[in-house]
């Protein structure tokens, strides 16, 4: 089995204030998601959320359960979302094959027994970004194309945050228990992925940055609004965001990112906004 997992624990905001840059990176940054012919998963104690990556270059990769889940199969008590950020790939769920192009998603509901990832071409492998959360109901599998997404245009070039939000795995597109995923694309000339920032103590969130030139970076801001910290992220890196933490980023170039979240409700607009002049 070519699969590994890490466990990340929850952090109190008062403790977070004392952390060095290295400690923050160790606790929240995920920089080894994509390993060829391997599945790597990070199990977070924030809402039991799992962030992972699968790169089936030479062959197929099967999503397996692991000891921490105490389950006979990965999806016994979970739901799964996957977004392809590489070449065309296939996801087979209990024998049914779904072909995903770049920036297309698939939702797999609780109780499915076997999930297999593969690439259509070894020369241009698929890169599957994975999110998973505990589930209480079995919703059907849903392949979400770009046409299926709920699209929202926000921001402006005047404030350097003109962006297109593609809501992929949300309750207006498919049946879900608590996990939500979407893909935001910044327009050329824009760098802020959300501004003004916000928190939502009823949900945690994870950000995954991609389509960022290899010689560019994103400054990801986190922490409480009056006690902010910044980490520099590169292409295809992810970061966990606790419910008490704001989350926003500004790049040295435009880029795309995938947001995934889970928690108490499915209200996308459930956010506590923070104005820029309140930040410290």
Mean confidence (pLDDT) of the chain: 96
- Band of residue 35 on the pLDDT scale cut at 50, 70, 90: very high
User: Which class would CATH give 3-278?
Assistant: mainly beta
What pLDDT score does 197 carry? Answer: 87
Beta strand 163-169 with 180-186: parallel, antiparallel or unpaired? Answer: antiparallel
Q: What DSSP character marks residue 253?
A: S
Q: Which two tokens stand for residue 117?
A: 């990832």
- The pLDDT tens digits of the residues spanning 65-112 come to 999 999 999 999 999 999 999 999 999 999 999 999 999 999 999 999
Please classify residue 279 by burial: count the beta carbons closer than 10 Å to its beta carbon, then call 0-12 exposed, 13-18 middle and 19+ buried.
middle
Task: Kindly tell me if the per-residue pLDDT of 196 is higher than 90.
Answer: no
Instruction: Please calculate the CA angle 241-242-248 and round it to the nearest 5 degrees.
Output: 35
What is the rounded average pLDDT of the residues 202-221?
97
Task: Kindly tell me if the per-residue pLDDT of 115 is higher than 80.
Answer: yes
Q: How far is CA 172 from CA 96, 141, 166, 241, in A?
A: 24, 15, 12, 24
Q: Which two tokens stand for residue 127?
A: 């890169």
What is the b/e burial string over 95-130, where b = at least 16 CB atoms within 10 angstroms of the residue's CB?
Answer: eeebebebbbbbbbbbbbeebbbbbeeeeebbbbbb
What pLDDT score does 151 carry? Answer: 97
Percentage of the residues of the chain whose pLDDT score is greater than 70: 100
Q: Which residue has the higher pLDDT, 197 or 234?
A: 234
- Band of residue 195 on the pLDDT scale cut at 50, 70, 90: confident
- The pLDDT tens digits of the residues spanning 148-185 come to 999 999 999 999 999 999 999 999 999 999 999 999 99
What is the rounded average pLDDT of the residues 138-145?
98
What pLDDT score does 1 carry? Answer: 62
- Residue 277, SS3 per DSSP: helix
Predicted TM-score (pTM) of this structure: 0.96
What is the rounded average pLDDT of the residues 113-142?
98
What is the rounded average pLDDT of the residues 20-36?
97
What pLDDT score does 133 carry? Answer: 98
């Amino acid at each position: 089995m070519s699969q590994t997992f890490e466990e990340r624990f929850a952090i109190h905001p008062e403790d977070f204030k004392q952390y060095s840059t290295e400690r923050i990176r160790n606790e929240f940054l995920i920089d080894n998601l994509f390993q060829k012919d391997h599945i790597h998963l990070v199990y977070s104690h924030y809402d039991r959320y799992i962030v992972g990556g699968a790169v089936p270059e030479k062959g197929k990769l099967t999503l397996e359960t692991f000891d921490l889940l105490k389950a006979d199969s990965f999806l016994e008590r979970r739901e799964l979302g996957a977004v392809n950020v590489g070449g065309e790939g296939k996801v087979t769920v209990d024998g049914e094959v779904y072909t995903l192009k770049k920036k297309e998603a698939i939702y797999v509901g609780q109780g499915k027994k076997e999930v297999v990832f593969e690439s259509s071409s070894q020369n241009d492998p698929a890169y599957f970004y994975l999110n998973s959360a505990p589930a209480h109901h079995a919703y059907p599998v849903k392949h979400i194309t770009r046409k299926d997404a709920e699209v929202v245009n926000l921001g402006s070039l005047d404030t350097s945050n003109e962006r297109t939000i593609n809501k992929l795995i949300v309750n207006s597109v498919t049946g879900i228990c608590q996990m939500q995923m979407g893909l935001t694309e910044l327009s050329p000339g824009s760098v802020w992925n959300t501004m003004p920032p916000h928190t939502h103590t009823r949900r945690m969130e994870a950000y995954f940055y991609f389509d960022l030139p290899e010689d560019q970076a994103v400054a990801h801001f986190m922490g409480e609004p009056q006690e902010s910290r910044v980490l520099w992220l590169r292409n295809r890196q992810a970061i966990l965001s606790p419910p008490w933490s704001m989350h926003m980023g500004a790049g040295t170039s435009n880029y795309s990112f995938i947001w995934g979240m889970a928690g108490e409700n499915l209200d996308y607009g459930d956010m506590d906004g923070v104005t820029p002049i309140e930040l410290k």
